[in-house]
C-alpha cells in the first residue's frame, strides 16, 4: 500500500531536506528510521517521493512524503517518531492511491518567511507585494537552474505584523530555487526605501532588465503547506502532536534564554560624546 506522511522539522542542523552523502539531512534521518523499523527496504524500491526540497537551514511544518510499504499499520507517526531525532517528526498520515506523487500532483505550495520588521515600512511592503502576484517570469528572483523554466504564478502574498516580527506568506503553483527568499529580499529593499516599486516592476521584466540579488537568511523560512486537487484524508496523530509540542517548547526555552545571553555578551554602549 502507499502511505503519505506530513512531516515537520527544525532545519537548523540539517543540510536541507534532500539526502546527500556525508552530511545530515532530513531525508537521511527519515530513511534511517523507516529502514530500521522495516517499513521500507530502501527509498528506490519503496518509490519514495516528497512534495519539494528545502535548503540548508530551512524549516517545515507541512512537508509531504509518500512511499510504498507492506506494513501500513507501522507507517504511522507515533511509531516512526520513536526512531527520529527530536528535530524531525511526523504528525499525520493517510493511505493514498498507488500513483500518488506528492511533488507532481501538487497544485500549490505555501511558504512563510518570518523577519524582524521594526526597520521596514510595512505599508510599502504590502503595496509592493501586490506587484508580485500573478504570472510572471521570476528569473531575477531565483538561483538559476539550467533547463528549468522560470515563469511561475504567485497566487497570494499576505503580509502580517505580530509584535516586532513580520510574517510574509507566499503561495504559488510551484517555486524556483531560492525564489521565496529573494522575493523577501526585494520586499525588504522596498520596505527600507533602498528601492522603489518602479525597480520591482523592472525586475519582473528580465528580458529588458537583469540584476543579481541575495537571498534572505534561511533561518526565517518555513515550508507551511501543500494543496492537492483531490483532498487527502489526513489522520492526525494526537499523541505525536502532543510530543511535538513538548519538543518545540524545549527549543523555545533554549532560544529565549540564548537571546538574553547574547544581549548580556554585548558591552554597554557608551554615551554618544564618548564615541
Contacts of 10 (CB under 8 A, 6+ apart): 59, 87, 88, 248, 251
As a whole number of angstroms, the distance between CA 149 and CA 128 comes to 24
> Residue 272 has what pLDDT?
67
32: cell is 534511517
pLDDT of amino acid 230: 87
Is 98 a catalytic site residue? no
Cβ pair 133, 157 in contact under 8 A: yes
Tell me the pTM.
Answer: 0.92
R_g (Cα) of the chain, nearest Å = 21
Asked if residues 155 and 108 have their Cβ atoms less than 8 Å apart, the reply is yes
Q: How far apart are CA 84 and CA 12, in angstroms?
A: 16
Cell of 60: 517545515
Question: What average pLDDT values come out for the chain (275 residues) when binned by 10 residues?
Answer: 97 94 95 97 96 95 97 97 96 97 97 92 96 97 88 97 94 95 97 95 95 94 96 95 93 93 84 61
Contacts of 265 (CB under 8 A, 6+ apart): none
Bridge-based pairing of strands 59-68 and 221-227 is: parallel
* Residue 183: its H or E element: helix 179-191
Active site residue: 55, 70, 137, 250, which one? Answer: 55
Q: Residue 222: beta bridge partners?
A: 59, 112
117, 220, 94, 113: which is closest to 158 by C-alpha?
113
Using alpha carbons, select from 207, 189, 54, 198 the residue that is nearest to residue 139: 207
**Does the annotation list 111 as a binding residue?**
yes
Q: What is the DSSP letter of 141?
A: G
> Whose CA is closest to 37, among 63, 11, 70?
70
User: Checking phi first, is residue 57 left (phi over 0); if not, alpha (psi -120 to 50) or beta?
Assistant: left
Per residue in 44-71, is it b (16+ CB within 10 Å) or e — as a string? eebebbbbbbbbebbbbbbbbbbbbbee
Amino acid at each position: 500500500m502507499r502511505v503519505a506522511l506530513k512531516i515537520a522539522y527544525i532545519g537548523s542542523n540539517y543540510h536541507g531536506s534532500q539526502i546527500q552523502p556525508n552530511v545530515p539531512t532530513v531525508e537521511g534521518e527519515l530513511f534511517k528510521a523507516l529502514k530500521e523499523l522495516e517499513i521500507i527496504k530502501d527509498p528506490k524500491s519503496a518509490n519514495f517521493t516528497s512534495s519539494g526540497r528545502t535548503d540548508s537551514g530551512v524549516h517545515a511544518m507541512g512537508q509531504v512524503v509518500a512511499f510504498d510499504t507492506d506494513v501500513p499499520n507501522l507507517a504511522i507517526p507515533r511509531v516512526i517518531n520513536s526512531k527520529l531525532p527530536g528535530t524531525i517528526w511526523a504528525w499525520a498520515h493517510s493511505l493514498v492511491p498507488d500513483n500518488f506523487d506528492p511533488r507532481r500532483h501538487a497544485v500549490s505550495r505555501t511558504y512563510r518567511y518570518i523577519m524582524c520588521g521594526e526597520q521596514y515600512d510595512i505599508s510599502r511592503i504590502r503595496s509592493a507585494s501586490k506587484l508580485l502576484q500573478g504570472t510572471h517570469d521570476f528569473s531575477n528572483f531565483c538561483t538559476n537552474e539550467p533547463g528549468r523554466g522560470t515563469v511561475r504564478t504567485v497566487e497570494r502574498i499576505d503580509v502580517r505584523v505580530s509584535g516586532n516580527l513580520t510574517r510574509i506568506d507566499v503561495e504559488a503553483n510551484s517555486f524556483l530555487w531560492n525564489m521565496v527568499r529573494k522575493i523577501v529580499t526585494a520586499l525588504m529593499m522596498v520596505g527600507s526605501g533602498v528601492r522603489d516599486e518602479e525597480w520591482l516592476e523592472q525586475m519582473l521584466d528580465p528580458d529588458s532588465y537583469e540584476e543579481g540579488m541575495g537571498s534572505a537568511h534561511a533561518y526565517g523560512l518555513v515550508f507551511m503547506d501543500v494543496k492537492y486537487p483531490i483532498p487527502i484524508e489526513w489522520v492526525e496523530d494526537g499523541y505525536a502532536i502532543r510530543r511535538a509540542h513538548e519538543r518545540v517548547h524545549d527549543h523555545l526555552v533554549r532560544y529565549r534564554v540564548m537571546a538574553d545571553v547574547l544581549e548580556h555578551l554585548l558591552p554597554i554602549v557608551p554615551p554618544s560624546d564618548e564615541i
